[in-house]
């Protein structure tokens, strides 16, 4: 597998094999394998899980790293192997020729394929064959983090070496006569938790055995969190001896606890600590994100004059139009409104922390979602009971009126929701602060009951014609003007992020549970009390420097 890791590192690092490599062209990728923020955290969690299960000491450098380029090349290889081992790729197919290296890379490391990936990888592989790869796996000591433990090569395995790490030169393993569970990992990465009395067949030619206990509990206890995500595994512990013959008890009480946070729970922690979940920081590009935020007022995208003014302000770095949010009143006594929810949505889009606590991580995913790692956001004011009821009422009324999009989904909008009135005293004007605009409703049922769901993608596309109440009559004219003025040719589907080089759309999803007979909301309970997060609207002026959270290190 050393050649596999070398080839992938060679490609990811832009043929440099540099452990300090930053993503070419800008972006969050770091190190030889270009781990990004969320993928680094996933790999660290997998490393901790595997190390715990196998009873190995943690490498604090790996667990404490905030960015992959803080790690040595060898530590980055360790993370790569563990991540590949625990990932989605079917490793057993690779040595059989049933899975090509490029698919192993896409499925086990990159995870998301975009046009051009295969061509660029093939080019890197051919270049590596022609020029060779300097450094990498062959420069490390065999075994790496396993070196301190003695591996006994004995085809009798645990039968003659109970409680010790053993290697069997066969892919057929019997657990008859062994009275404790054993983790088996083959030379191709095929892994199985083997139980006493059973027989197992692995992919590959050899299997290394890691004993989980010398008696007692045979089956690990699984604990899931409220989102249905695996939160921890509890295994029996083993007493192993290191090469110096010193016994090592993994933990007290004869158990190994493997902690693992699911993506929703982890994103909630990140949102609370940093004001943005790690997956959304991919939209941040230093300099470009700040420039977009400081020059673009996130309101009135259907007005061609405002859009032309935004483009000019961005190009020349003139700052925002101070009159963009003029609500009413004479010129000598103007009344301006504020839009804290839109401000936070725009900041999250640009990969920057929100400052008004307008959004939270949703507890739910769409029922048809196949990607269990996907995390959705929701506006905090969706927690308000009057708003939830108003949304439910709007769904049934609009469904009755046939207010649907091209996919026959019922269209909803925030306008008219009971969110207060503009008072002219610095408070928000809800009609203008409709950060979602149009969204889609749906109706479903799960183990908790009947619900109305709300879905939206928060993106910026000033050229799209739109539908519902978000029709953009100026879209076509703006597109024609932009293509005449800019080197970056756009289409009606073009995102601002692609044109300005910063930004990433994010998805909204929330469920509102109802009594299907009365069509009244059922406020879900958590820990015996109503779930309610009051929306904060302490708008902070965009000209005031903000604490950057995770941005402070740049």
Domain shared by 518 and 441, yes or no: yes
Which residue range forms the structural domain that includes residue 502? 263-536
Q: Are residues 203 and 309 in the same domain?
A: no
| 329 and 374 co-located in one domain | yes
Q: Based on the fold, state whether residues 28 and 124 are members of the same structural domain.
A: yes
Is residue 366 domain-resident? yes
C-beta separation of 32 from 18 below 8 A: yes
Query: How many independent structural domains does the chain possess?
Result: 3
Placement of tokens 């009947």 in the chain: 450
Q: What is the pLDDT of residues 84-93, one digit of tens each?
A: 877 778 776 7
Q: Is residue 542 part of a domain?
A: no
For residue 266, the model assigns a pLDDT of 85
Query: Cα–Cα distance between 183 and 53 in angstroms, integer?
Result: 8
Please report whether residue 508 resides in a domain: yes
Last residue of a domain, one of 208, 225, 259: 259
Same domain (yes/no): 241, 113:
no
Q: Do 326 and 193 sit in the same domain of this protein?
A: no
Q: Are 256 and 53 in contact (CB under 8 A)?
A: yes
Per-residue pLDDT, 11:
93
Domain's final residue, options 198, 230, 259? 259
By CB atoms closer than 10 A (0-12, 13-18, 19+), residue 323 is: exposed
Query: CA 283, CA 176: separation in Å to the nearest integer?
Result: 54
**Does residue 410 share a domain with residue 288?**
yes
Give the pLDDT of residue 382. 87
543 located within any domain:
no
Instruction: Please tell me the distance from the alpha carbon of residue 203 to that of residue 279, in angstroms, as a whole number.
Output: 34
| 409 and 441 both lie in a single domain | yes
Do the domain assignments include residue 550?
Answer: no
- Tell me whether residue 502 is exposed, middle or buried, using C-beta atoms within 10 angstroms of its C-beta: 0 to 12, 13 to 18, 19 or more: buried
- Residue ranges of alpha helices (H) inside 442-519 are 475-485, 496-500
> In this structure, are 329 and 466 located in the same domain?
yes
Q: Are residues 180 and 136 part of one domain? A: no
Domain annotation covers residue 372: yes
Kindly state whether residues 175 and 211 are assigned to the same domain.
yes
CA distances (Å), origin 66, targets 36, 39, 71, 284: 10, 11, 9, 16
Contacts of 474 (CB under 8 A, 6+ apart): 302, 303, 304, 307
pLDDT of residue 518: 93
pLDDT score at 218: 36
- Judged by DSSP in three states, 289 sits in helix
pLDDT tens digits for range 51-106: 766 556 778 889 999 999 999 888 898 889 888 877 778 776 776 678 888 998 99
Domain annotation covers residue 547: no
Q: What is the CA radius of gyration of the chain?
A: 28
Residues 275 and 192 in one domain: no
Indicate the angle between helix axes 475-485 and 304-316, nearest 10 degrees.
30
Q: At which of 89, 122, 144 does a domain end?
A: 144
Q: Is residue 188 part of a domain?
A: yes
Note the pLDDT of residue 321.
83
Block means of pLDDT (10 residues each) for the chain, length 554 residues? 83 92 89 90 85 70 92 88 81 76 89 88 89 71 45 86 85 86 79 81 86 47 57 48 46 37 84 90 88 83 69 85 73 74 91 92 85 87 88 92 82 76 52 79 89 90 55 58 63 62 89 93 51 26 34 36
Phi, psi dihedral angles at 525 (to 5 degrees): -105, 150
Count of CB atoms situated within 10 Å of the CB of 472: 21
Which residue matches tokens 């199985």?
192
Closest CA to 493 of 458, 532, 462, 528: 462
Side-chain half-sphere of 112: how many Cα atoms within 13 Å? 6
């Amino acid at each position: 597998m050393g050649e596999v890791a070398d080839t992938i590192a060679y490609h990811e690092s832009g043929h440099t094999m540099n452990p300090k490599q930053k993503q070419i062209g800008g972006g969050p990728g770091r190190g030889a394998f270009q781990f990004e923020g969320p993928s680094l955290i996933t790999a660290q969690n997998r490393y901790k899980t595997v190390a715990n299960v196998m009873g190995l000491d943690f490498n604090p450098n790996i667990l404490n790293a905030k960015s992959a380029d803080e790690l040595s090349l060898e530590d980055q290889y360790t993370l790569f192997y563990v991540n590949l081992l625990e990932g989605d790729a079917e490793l057993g197919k690779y040595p059989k020729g049933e899975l090509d290296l490029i698919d192993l890379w896409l499925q086990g490391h990159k995870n998301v394929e975009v046009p051009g990936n295969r061509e660029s990888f093939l080019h890197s592989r051919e270049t590596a064959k022609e020029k060779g790869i300097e450094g990498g796996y062959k420069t490390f000591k065999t075994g790496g983090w396993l070196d301190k433990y003695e591996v006994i090569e004995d085809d009798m395995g645990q039968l003659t070496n109970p409680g010790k790490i053993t290697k069997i030169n066969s892919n057929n393993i019997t657990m008859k006569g062994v009275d404790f569970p054993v983790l088996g990992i083959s030379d191709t990465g095929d892994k199985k938790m083997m139980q006493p009395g059973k027989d197992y067949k692995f992919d590959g030619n050899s299997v290394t055995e890691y004993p989980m206990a010398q008696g007692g509990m045979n089956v690990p206890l699984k604990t899931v969190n409220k989102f249905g995500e695996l939160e921890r595994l509890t295994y029996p512990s083993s007493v192993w001896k290191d090469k110096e013959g010193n016994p090592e008890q993994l933990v007290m009480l004869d158990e190994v606890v493997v902690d693992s946070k699911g993506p929703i729970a982890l994103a909630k922690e990140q949102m609370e600590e940093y004001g943005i979940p790690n997956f959304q920081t991919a939209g941040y590009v230093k300099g470009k994100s700040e420039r977009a935020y400081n020059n673009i007022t996130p309101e009135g995208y259907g007005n061609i004059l405002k859009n032309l003014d935004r483009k000019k302000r961005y190009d020349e770095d003139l700052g925002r139009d101070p009159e963009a949010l003029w609500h009413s009143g004479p010129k000598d006594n103007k009344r301006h409104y504020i839009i804290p929810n839109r401000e936070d949505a725009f900041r999250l889009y640009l990969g920057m922390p929100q400052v008004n606590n307008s959004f939270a991580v949703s507890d739910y995913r769409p029922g048809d979602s196949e990607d269990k790692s996907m995390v959705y956001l929701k506006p905090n004011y969706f927690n308000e009971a009057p708003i939830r009821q108003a949304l439910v009422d709007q769904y049934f009324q609009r469904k009755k009126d046939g207010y649907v999009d091209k996919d026959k989904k019922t269209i909803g909008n925030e306008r008219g929701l009971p969110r207060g009135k503009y008072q002219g005293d610095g408070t928000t004007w809800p009609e203008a602060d409709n950060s979602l605009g149009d969204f889609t409703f749906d109706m479903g049922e799960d183990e908790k009951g009947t619900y109305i769901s709300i879905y939206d993608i928060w993106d910026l596309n000033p050229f799209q014609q739109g539908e519902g109440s978000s029709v953009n009559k100026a879209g076509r004219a703006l597109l024609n003007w932009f293509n005449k003025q800019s080197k970056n040719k756009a289409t009606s589907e073009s995102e601002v992020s692609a044109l300005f080089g910063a930004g990433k759309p994010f998805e909204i999803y929330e469920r509102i549970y109802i009594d299907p007979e009365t069509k009244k909301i059922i406020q879900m309970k958590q820990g015996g009390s109503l779930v309610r997060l009051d929306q904060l609207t302490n708008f902070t002026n965009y000209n005031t420097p903000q604490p950057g959270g995770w941005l402070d290190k740049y």
